[in-house]
Amino acid sequence: MTIKIYTVAEMVAVEKAADAAGLAYAQMMETAGRRVADAVQQRHDVAERSVLVLVGPGNNGGDGLVAGRYLAEAGAVVAFYLVKPRDVADDENLARVEEMGLEVLLADYDQRFRVLRHRLRVTDIIIDALLGTGVTRPIEGQLATIMEQVGAAIAEKRRAAAPSQPPLLSVAAPPAVPDDAPAWDEERPRQPIIVAVDCPSGMNCDSGALDPLAVSADLTVTFAGPKRGHFRFPGAAACGELVVADIDIDPQLPAVSGVALELATADLARALLPARPPDGHKGTFGTALIAAGSIRYWGAPALAARGAFRGGAGMVTLAVPQRLRPALAGQFPEATYPAVTDTDTLGVATANLLLGSLSRYGALLVGPGLGEAASFMTALLDGLRSTADGGILADDVTAPPLIVDADGLNLLAQMPGWPTRLPPNTILTPHPGEMARLVGRPLSAVRDEERVELARECAAAWGHVVLLKGAYTVVAAPPDSVSGDGRATLLPFANPLLAVGGSGDVLGGVIVGLLAQGVKPYEAAVLGGYLHGAAGQLAADYWGNAGLLASELADWVSHVRRALV
Per residue, what are the HEC states of 195-236? Answer: EEECCCCCECCCCCCECCCCCCCCEEEEECCCEHHHHCCCHH
Sheet holding 465-468, edge to edge: 261-263, 488-490, 474-476, 465-468, 427-428, 402-404, 363-366, 287-291, 315-319
Long-range pairs, 239-246, Cβ under 8 A, ≥24: 239/196, 239/199, 239/200, 239/203, 240/194, 240/196, 240/216, 242/492, 243/39, 243/219, 244/3, 245/31, 245/32, 245/35, 245/36, 245/39, 245/221, 246/1, 246/35
Reduced to 3 states (helix: H, G, I; strand: E, B; else coil), residue 336 is: strand
pTM for this one? 0.93
Residue 386's DSSP bridge partners are: 393
CATH assignment of 268-274+282-564? 3.40.1190.20
Q: Could you give the CA distance from residue 131 to residue 54 in angstroms, rounded to a whole number? A: 10
Residue type, 273: L
Sheet holding 103-106, edge to edge: 103-106, 77-82, 50-55, 125-129, 193-197, 219-223, 241-245
Q: What is the model's pLDDT at position 177?
A: 65
State how far Cα 339 lies from the chain centre: 40
Residue (of 69, 84, 63) closest to 220 by Cα position: 63
Q: What is the model's pLDDT at position 486?
A: 83
- List of the chain residues with pLDDT < 70: 177-190, 386-397, 481-485
DSSP designation for 46? -
Q: How far apart, in Å, are the Cα atoms of 114 and each of 18, 86, 120, 515?
A: 42, 21, 10, 63
Residue 220's DSSP bridge partners are: 196, 242
Reduced to 3 states (helix: H, G, I; strand: E, B; else coil), residue 453 is: helix
Are 466 and 506 in contact by the 8 Å Cβ rule? The answer is no
Q: Could you give the CA distance from residue 455 to residue 464 in angstroms, rounded to a whole number? A: 10
Reduced to 3 states (helix: H, G, I; strand: E, B; else coil), residue 405 is: coil
Q: Could you give the CA distance from residue 447 to residue 225 in angstroms, rounded to a whole number? A: 25
- CATH 3.40.1190.20 segments of the chain: 268-274+282-564
State the burial class of residue 151 (Cβ atoms within 10 Å of its Cβ: 0-12, 13-18, 19+): middle
Q: What is the model's pLDDT at position 188?
A: 44
- CATH 3.40.50.10260 segments of the chain: 8-160+189-259
Phi/psi at 37 (5° precision): -60, -40
Q: What angle do CA 526, 532, 533 make, to 5 degrees?
A: 90
Residue 242's DSSP bridge partners are: 220
Are 406 and 300 in contact by the 8 Å Cβ rule? The answer is yes
Residue type, 239: C
Computed from CA positions of residues 33, 35, 40, 41, in that sequence, does the dihedral angle turn out positive or negative? positive
Reduced to 3 states (helix: H, G, I; strand: E, B; else coil), residue 508 is: helix
Q: Could you give the CA distance from residue 457 to residue 207 in angstroms, rounded to a whole number? A: 18
Q: What is the model's pLDDT at position 483?
A: 54
Reduced to 3 states (helix: H, G, I; strand: E, B; else coil), residue 55 is: strand
* Cβ-proximal residues to 143 (8 Å cutoff; 6+ apart), any chain: 56, 83, 130, 131
Are 321 and 344 in contact by the 8 Å Cβ rule? The answer is yes
Q: What is the model's pLDDT at position 164?
A: 76
| Fold held by 8-160+189-259 | Rossmann fold (3.40.50)
